[in-house]
Amino acid sequence: MATLFAMAACSSHGGRAARARPIFSPNGEILTAGGKDAPKCPEALGGWWDRIAAAHGGVLTRETLVADANSQFDAMDLDHDGFITPSELSDYRAALDEEGSTGPDISIPPGEPSADTQMHRQRRGDTYIQPKVRAAQIPADVVDPVMSADKSLSFKVSREDFIAQANEIFTELDKDHDGKLSKEELAASCPERG
């Protein structure tokens, strides 16, 4: 389950060149669409960890991940009916493409962000912007980490489905069972280079 969100540009198919593979946060936020100049999986997830943990005292707990899942759900539920449908998710991602960002500007609290974050974001004053992501162009063979929460196959994801998946992902990623996710635990979910 946890590897659903960490699909990187690292595989080839029958002698063909490796195709760009998106990298997702544990809650389905597109961190990069992959490609030659895109950050690799560990760096993309490390930058996400920096952003989320920085807002919570430098710690990423189950509660922090669930809070992020709730925020991500709110952003994707465009009609605010309590469900995310495939077409709604496509509209959300298409809007990201138009904005040229994976989301709103992210203010970093006092102190410098990590080198990973600095390397993969543009600086504008005290605000860091995610790099442009072609969110609507997710390859058809990539399991969507948002719609994968639809366990009932109803073609819609409820908040309860999404939060349940976030809890499952946290349990799977927290390898040392200390109730916190480290950057190393996130990086371990990245596919190995083939």
Tens-of-pLDDT digits for all 194 residues of the chain?
A: 544 454 333 333 444 555 678 899 999 999 988 778 889 999 999 999 999 999 888 999 999 999 999 999 999 999 999 999 999 999 998 887 766 544 433 333 444 444 333 433 433 444 444 444 455 467 778 889 999 999 999 999 999 999 999 999 999 999 999 999 999 999 999 987 64
Q: Is 74 left (phi over 0), alpha (psi -120 to 50) or beta?
A: alpha
Residue 38, both tokens: 């895109």
Q: What is the pTM assigned to this prediction? A: 0.73
Residue 23, both tokens: 């990298």
3-state secondary structure of 59: coil
Q: How far is CA 181 from the centre of its chain?
A: 15
List Cβ neighbours of 191 (8 Å cut-off, separation of 6 or more): 3, 6, 7, 8, 10, 11, 41
